[in-house]
Amino acid sequence: MREWVIQYERFNQTEKLLFKRLVNMLLAKTFIIRDEYEAATGRLKVHADYRFIERTFEVFSGYLELAGWTLHRDNTYGVIYLNSQHDYNKVQLNKFTTLMLLTLRLIYEERREEVSLRNEIFFETHEMILKMQVLGILDKKPSMKDISEGLKRLSHFNLLNKIEGKWDAPDTHFLLLPSILFIIPNDKISMLAALVESSKEDERRPSDQDEDDENEAEDEADASELMEDLL
């Protein structure tokens, strides 16, 4: 009998129920973050779910491996995440959400140099949009509906937390989570930069509606292909 099975059998009933809940959470959200932000105190605290997975990592890893998933753990940033060994069960993000993700990854990279002693990196919605404009990846002003849907999508996968405000407000306060470093590792940044440049060229190039639709479809495919190995 495998060691992880023996360890699982030693779980009490409460631990088995917790194991079941957290396996489903990992499959739904991909990332589990160690440090949870408490708005009341303005401090980070260690999340009990992360500690349980960390303490029984071999059980989670062995169980999920049977279904074709690889469980990873990074103790430096406090991130546990799943990666599929197969081509299915992949999340596809649309072009706009992918470009939002790139922008937030760049914001995280810039600001973590300023807050080297702490991991809290905050941003407001309007700062993200301004950054996208500076990068030149917006061909038109996005609607707040598109922005809020993209932010909710990223929040679902524990890439950011809404701290204060409404999803569709420009001054909503968010916390960027270190999981964003793993969904876009350094070797993927250059690929995303190419997607940004492609967006700029589409904006500059005159075309009729049919060509615009074709270009947009190609960009959507590029974005999906880029993200398929991440979530």
Q: What angle do CA 13, 17, 22 make, to 5 degrees?
A: 145
Domain residue ranges of the chain, discontinuous segments joined by +: 3-84, 95-227
Question: pLDDT-based confidence at 223, cuts 50/70/90?
Answer: very low
Mean of the per-residue pLDDT values of the chain: 84
Share of the chain above pLDDT 90, in %: 56
pTM of the model: 0.81
Residue 41: its pLDDT value, please?
A: 82
Q: Is the dihedral of CA 51, 175, 89, 99 positive or negative?
A: negative
Residue 202: its pLDDT value, please?
A: 60
Backbone angle region of 203, left / alpha / beta, with phi > 0 → left and psi within -120 to 50 → alpha: alpha
Q: Is 229 helix (H, G, I), strand (E, B) or coil?
A: coil
Average pLDDT over residues 214-224: 47
C-alpha span between 226 and 135 (Å, rounded): 19
Question: Among 77, 71, 68, which Cα is nearest to 56's?
Answer: 71
Tens-place pLDDT, residues 183-205: 877 776 766 666 666 655 665 55
Tens-place pLDDT, residues 89-148: 778 888 899 889 999 998 998 888 776 555 679 999 999 999 999 888 887 889 999 999
The number of beta carbons lying within 10 Å of the beta carbon of residue 218 is 13
Residue 57: its pLDDT value, please?
A: 98
Question: pLDDT-based confidence at 33, cuts 50/70/90?
Answer: very high
Residue 196: its pLDDT value, please?
A: 62
